[in-house]
Amino acid sequence: MSGNPDINIDANLNLTGLDLPRYIAIEGPIGVGKTTLAKHLANSLDYELLLENAQDNPFLDRFYEDPVSAALPTQLHFLFQRAKQIQALRQTDMFQPVRVADFLIDKDPLFASVTLDDDELRLYQQVYSQLTIDAPTPDLVIYLQAPSDKLQQRIASRGIASEQRINPEYLQRLNDAYMNFFHYYDKAPLLIVNAAELDLAHNPEHYAQLVEYMLRIKSGRHYYNPTPTL
28-77, pLDDT tens digit by residue?
999 999 999 999 999 988 898 989 888 889 999 899 888 889 999 999 99
Per-residue pLDDT band for 226 (boundaries 50, 70, 90) equals confident
- On whether residue 24 sits in a domain, the answer given is no
Per-residue pLDDT band for 4 (boundaries 50, 70, 90) equals very low
- On whether residue 25 sits in a domain, the answer given is no
- On whether residue 88 sits in a domain, the answer given is yes
Domain containing residue 188: 30-224
pLDDT, tens digit, 9 for 90 and up, residues 166-176: 889 999 999 99
pLDDT at 227 over 60: yes
How many domains would you assign to the chain? Answer: 1
- On whether residue 179 sits in a domain, the answer given is yes
Strands of the sheet containing 23-27, edge to edge, are: 48-50, 99-101, 23-27, 140-145, 190-194, 221-224
Residues 6+ away with beta carbon under 8 Å from 22: 97, 98, 99, 139
Which of the following is catalytic: 10, 102, 149, 186?
102
CATH number at residue 188: 3.40.50.300
Q: What is the pTM of this model?
A: 0.88
Is 46 marked active-site?
A: no
In this structure, of 95-99, 184-188, 200-204, the range with the lowest mean pLDDT score is: 95-99
- On whether residue 130 sits in a domain, the answer given is yes
pLDDT at 25 over 70: yes
In whole angstroms, give the CA distance from residue 213 to residue 100: 17
In three-state secondary structure terms, 121 is helix
- On whether residue 8 sits in a domain, the answer given is no
- On whether residue 23 sits in a domain, the answer given is no
- On whether residue 10 sits in a domain, the answer given is no
